[in-house]
A and B are shown apart, each in its own frame.
Chain A
């Protein structure tokens, strides 16, 4: 298994509070991704990073921000959590975008009450 950890693994928070999820990799892969998984929607890309301090938006980026200050860490922040952000969040890594597979972390289950 690729060396990807996510923290926390489970979190319950209240509407309106900020939340930060962390993804840590030991593979030195250039690309890192944040997805959310919801029933019937598969995985949808929130944000991705192609290097330290280099990030871009994905399909469902509204309400989320990211930061990458080190190669190994990619943070996802919900500035003011809403119930619609209740989901399972997966981090993934890859060496490049095309012709390379993505490796996924164990996921973080976030519940916003």
Chain B
């Protein structure tokens, strides 16, 4: 069975700081990868996704993620965070033999 690990459970940053959230998965074959965001009191929304092609994926609101197959990683980055980025971020992975599996989430707090 596949698993997804998000090693940072809570992150606190000041506005304008750079962000990198880690995501590692266990499955060795072909995967589709996602980052979802959940703003306080809201449902999950898709930030970005990787299916194939360029391993550097750009999403909404200035976020990007890099798929590194050799490291089984799909880390999320943003050069300069804003207070409005305060949210919980979820990495998710799916392969042909399994359903979508989520990591435990990372709570990001951005201080103004």
Contacts and interface: CB of A to CB of B under 8 A. Distances in A.
Given A98-B32, A98-B94, A98-B96, A43 B46 contact: no
A107 B38 CA distance: 11
A41 B94 contact: no
Contact of B100 (A40, A41, A45, A107): A45
A102 B32 CA distance: 12
Size range of the chain A interface in the assembly: 20 to 34
Main SS of the interface on chain A?
loop
Contacts of A44: 102
A102 B94 CA distance: 11
A40 B103 contact: no
A42 B104 contact: yes
A14 interface: no
A97 B104 contact: no
A42 B43 contact: no
Interface string B27-42: 0000010101000001
Contacts, number: 45
Contacts of A51: none
Given A40-B104, A42-B104, A45-B100, A106 B43 contact: yes
Interface string B72-112: 00000000000000000010001110011011110000000
B99 A48 contact: yes
A63 interface: no
Interface string B41-67: 011111001010000000000000000
A70 B105 CA distance: 33
Contacts of B7: none
Going nearest first, the 10 A-B pairs with the smallest beta carbon separation are A42-B102, A104-B44, A43-B102, A104-B43, A42-B104, A106-B43, A42-B105, A40-B104, A101-B46, A42-B103
Interface of B: 4, 6, 9, 32, 34, 36, 42-46, 49, 51, 90, 94-96, 99-100, 102-105
